[in-house]
Structure 1
Amino acid sequence: MGGFGPLETAGPVLVWTVVLTFVFLECALIIGLFLPGDSMLITAGVVLASQVSGEVHVWALSVGTMIAAIAGNQVGYVIGQRTGHHLVARKNGKYINTRNLTRVAELLHRHGFMAVLVARWIPWVRTLCPAVAGAAGMDHRKYTIASSIGAIIWAPVLLLIGYYAGSFLENVSWLMPAVIGTLIVGLVLGTIVGVRQYRAEMARPAEDFDLDEAEQEPVADSPWRRA
């Protein structure tokens, strides 16, 4: 397979570093709300398709992303758990506002296990879900099983979609560099814009969000436990 300039020289190490860092942050910390996680995984898959040992790396990286996502989910859960039933929202925030936190809390309260699985495919919910689950006291074992299953499905699927799409593009010699270049430029710009949006969001005044007020009446087979 052909290379792509600096990417060929840097090798898969750069891809590994970026992917694992982004996946962990998106699953663990609020800044992950503003990072292009899904597009990053697809881009990484396409880039690995241009590498000589790309197939080995994409399957190994799939395992690595699963571990990073699972670890990130656990960190996010613990952070939420330590806040108690009170989370910090941002007044007039785009994402970290009381409306979105309420929506995630209600989703988890009503659907529990399945909500954690579905959250994996909704970027802003994916990041808020661990903290809200921890703060609200969702059963840790159920949360861990659901979030781990979601991680196993989410990251490898997007990586492999990018990889096999890239393998197809390799048959068109002039197209592969153009696609990779476009994807990387989009990823870099998306990250820059995301970091600026994160800084603007965090600069907004903080307000308390009380999960006790957001939760609805318990439903059958509720995943919540009370201290």
Structure 2
Amino acid sequence: METLKEWISYLYDAQKLKDLIIYGSYPALMAIVFAETGLLVGFFLPGDSLLVTAGILAGQKLLNAPLLMILLSIAAIIGDTVGYSIGYRTGPVIFTRPKSLLFDPEHINRAHRFYEKYGGKTIILARFLPLIRTFAPVVAGVGKMNYPKFLSYNIFGGIGWVVSMISVGYFLGSIPGVDKYLHLIIILVIVISFIPGVTEYIREKKKSGVKNEKNS
């Protein structure tokens, strides 16, 4: 338990995250992106801030931006494919899986509601939404979404997410002295990334409240 907390805090510490990216290089980045998008237990991983930070380092010529975009796009696409496979093989029973330290049924239920609202486009939109990003491909698999259709959304969304986040970081990395504000940038990225999800959650609560009033 303590080890997990230490690992999570490590990923959300600006300097430690930077060190991880520099010393772990491309393999570590690919592993984290894959885990967040392909493993149910990867929902806590900081995909957006990781990509932006990697982009900043690429802007400082510590990493190769084109190679970074290619490798991490591949990792993201493979991750979603694995998530789809998990959902396809597991089926609806996954919605009744008990809550544990690394799994909360509410996360996958939220992704399910999002999928019901936006359909296949969820695979693209979810790339920019923490938590939903991890569980959207699983829900698509459970729903037996046509795989060629899923793959096209997966490729488009994966490349779009990786390239856009790294590009933002690359631009910031070209600004002199940006390292002094790295922790603030990471906090800002995390806050911005959660705004759409929080907004959607508030809308759901309002709608359910209105329905309850009508039924009472």
- 1:26 matched residue in structure 2: 36
Displacement after TM superposition at 1:131 (Å): 1.3
Within the alignment, does 1:67 sit opposite 2:77 as a pair? no
* Residue in 2 that maps onto 1:44: 54
What are the Cα deviations for residues 125-163 of structure 1, in whole angstroms up to 9, with x where unaligned? 010011111122111111111111101110111011111
Matched, 1:130 2:140: no
Instruction: Report the equivalent of 1:89.
Output: 97
Q: Secondary structure at the match of 1:114?
A: helix
Match of 1:159 in 2: 166
Within 5 Å, which residues of 2 pair with 1:92-111? Answer: 96-97=104-105, 99-111=106-118
Q: Distance in 2 between matches of 1:154 and 1:161?
A: 11
Could you tell me which amino acid in structure 1 is paired with residue 66 of structure 2?
W
Does structure 2 conserve the Cα–Cα contact (< 8 Å) formed by 1:8 and 1:51? no
Write out aligned runs for 1:161-200 (5 A).
161-168=168-175, 170=176, 175-180=177-182, 182=183
User: How far is the alpha carbon of 1:103 from its aligned partner?
Assistant: 2.9
Counterpart of 1:17 in structure 2: which amino acid? P
Does structure 2 retain, via aligned residues, the 8 Å contact 1:47–1:163?
A: yes
- The question of whether the paired residues in 1 share the 8 Å contact of 2:122 and 2:136 is answered with no
CA distance in 2, matches of 1:82, 1:167: 45
1:46 touches 1:166 (CA, 8 Å); kept in 2? yes
Higher relative contact order (CA 8 A, sep 6+): 1
Report if the CA contact (8 A) 2:34-2:79 is conserved.
Answer: yes
More helix per residue: 2
Runs of 4+ in 1 over 4 A off after TM superposition: 7-13, 92-95
Superposed displacement of residue 113, structure 1: 1.8
Post-superposition offset of 1:86: 1.1
When residues 59 and 125 of structure 1 are mapped into structure 2, their CA distance, relative to the original with a 3 A threshold, is: same
Classify 1:12/1:94 alpha carbon distance in 2 versus 1 (closer, same or farther; 3 Å).
Answer: closer
Select the structure that is richer in strand: 1
Deviation, 1:17, is 2.3
Q: Which runs of 5+ in 1 are unaligned?
A: 1-6, 191-227
DSSP-derived class of the 2:97 partner: strand
* 1:92 CA displacement: 8.2
1:39 deviation in Å?
Answer: 0.4
1:11–1:51 contact (8 Å) kept in structure 2: no
Larger Rg: 1
Contact 1:119 1:126 in 2 (8 A): yes
Secondary structure in 2 aligned to 1:14?
helix
Give the alignment partner of residue 87 of structure 2, picking from 77, 80, 87: 80
The 3 A distance-change label for structure 1 pair 89 and 49 is same
TM-score after normalising by structure 2: 0.68
Give the superposition deviation at 1:165: 0.6
Please tell me the root mean square deviation across aligned C-alpha atoms, in Å: 3.3
Q: Is contact 1:12-1:48 (8 Å) kept? A: no
Asked if the contact 1:15/1:44 (under 8 Å) is kept, the reply is no
Which residue is equivalent to 1:14? Answer: 24
AA of the residue aligned to 1:96: D
Normalising by structure 1, what TM-score? 0.65
